[in-house]
Amino acid sequence: MKNLCAPKWLSIALLVMVALPASAAEVVDRIVAVIEGEIITLRELEVRAQPFMEKVKSISDPAQRESQRQEVMLKVLDIQIGEKMVDLELKKNAEMLGVGEPDINRAIEEVLRMNSLNREQLEAALYNQGMTWSEYRAKLKAQIERARLIQYKVQGRIQVKPDDVKGLCRERQNDGNENIKVCASHILLGTKDVESEKALEELRLEAAKLQAELSAGADFAAYALERSDDKGSPDGNLGCFERGMMVKEFEETAFSTPIGTVSKVVRSQFGFHVIKVNDRQVQAPSGCETPEELGPFHNELYQKKMEEQMKVWVNELRKKAFVDVRL
């Protein structure tokens, strides 16, 4: 005859479960936030935060690990509160959104087309995921309602300027460096034959004096003709040049000096320079002109602005609602 007595460890476990006070059960799944009567439980929060916790667990210092854990939990909770706010708005605006059977059918047709499936294949895939056809339709309806609500409440706030799209395209194609040419003149006080520190300092002071007079409006070409040691450009005019064509110190100063102004004195391997920037030419790189070329960059900026405006909208909703955070 089989022994019908339960193992000792199981009896103890059952005893503990029976004797467990109600307050302990509440701690396991306590409420961490209330939003207009809707609740978020600790269990829900922990499940959502789980993907972010692996990195937190790798932190060796206990105090730092706990601090990071709390920060992650608060950020995830903030996301969940935002989602609840949107859900509440969906309930308020369900009739206005007007999502019906034809909308759901069109969405299903699009899913079938994009995935090259027929209805039977889609139903089989849903069955394998544990979802019925009616549940899938309900899920699609909720997605369409959310998309329409965002369209009504947020999309009207978004503006993507063509110049911003082109700017992003150029930045990406040139690794952050625009195709710029600087047109400049300079006066060089050469240091090739200067042998003493005293003579070098006197030359530096002379360059500083020239810079002050030129900044005050003196004729740059006339000063260059009289004082510059660069005989290759007697009036000081160097024409236009791109990055990489001049020595580093000269280039950095020329590209950072505003048009029409005289730079500070800059020293290079050739001597002391005073530079005047006459013009700056920006050339659009190829590949940033047609709608096809600019499309991905427009979409990127649009998505970024969408996320920004979603945060603004959710914060507006949150200010008007009763939100009690208990974490």
252 found inside a domain: yes
Bridge pairing between strands 31-35 and 323-325? antiparallel
Instruction: Report the Cα–Cα distance between both ends of the chain, in Å, rounded.
Output: 54
Q: Across the strands, what pairs with 323?
A: 35
Q: Give the pTM.
A: 0.53
Contact of 221 with 237, CB cutoff 8 Å: yes
CA distance 195 to 188: 17
CA distance 246 to 143: 58
CA distance 217 to 221: 12
17 found inside a domain: no
Q: Across the strands, what pairs with 237?
A: 185
CA distance 176 to 168: 9
190 found inside a domain: yes
**Structure confidence at residue 4 (pLDDT):** 39
Record the tokens describing residue 188, joined without a space: 């060089």
Sign of CA pseudo-dihedral 194, 195, 198, 201: positive
Residue with tokens 């005989």: 231
**Structure confidence at residue 178 (pLDDT):** 56
Q: What angle do CA 108, 86, 45 make, to 5 degrees?
A: 100
Residue with tokens 């602005």: 305
Give the structural domain span for 271. Answer: 179-283
205 found inside a domain: yes
Domain count, the chain: 1
Residue with tokens 């002071």: 205
183 found inside a domain: yes
Contact of 246 with 268, CB cutoff 8 Å: no
**Structure confidence at residue 325 (pLDDT):** 93
CA distance 141 to 97: 11
Here the CATH number for the domain that contains residue 200 is: 3.10.50.40
196 found inside a domain: yes
**Around Cβ 108, how many Cβ atoms within 10 Å?**
16
Bridge pairing between strands 271-283 and 323-325? unpaired
268 found inside a domain: yes
Q: What is the DSSP letter of 319?
A: H
Q: Nearest Cα to 185, choosing from 221, 209, 132?
A: 221
**Structure confidence at residue 170 (pLDDT):** 81
Q: Residues of the chain whose pLDDT is less than 50?
A: 1-27, 176
**Around Cβ 262, how many Cβ atoms within 10 Å?**
24
**Structure confidence at residue 194 (pLDDT):** 80
185 found inside a domain: yes
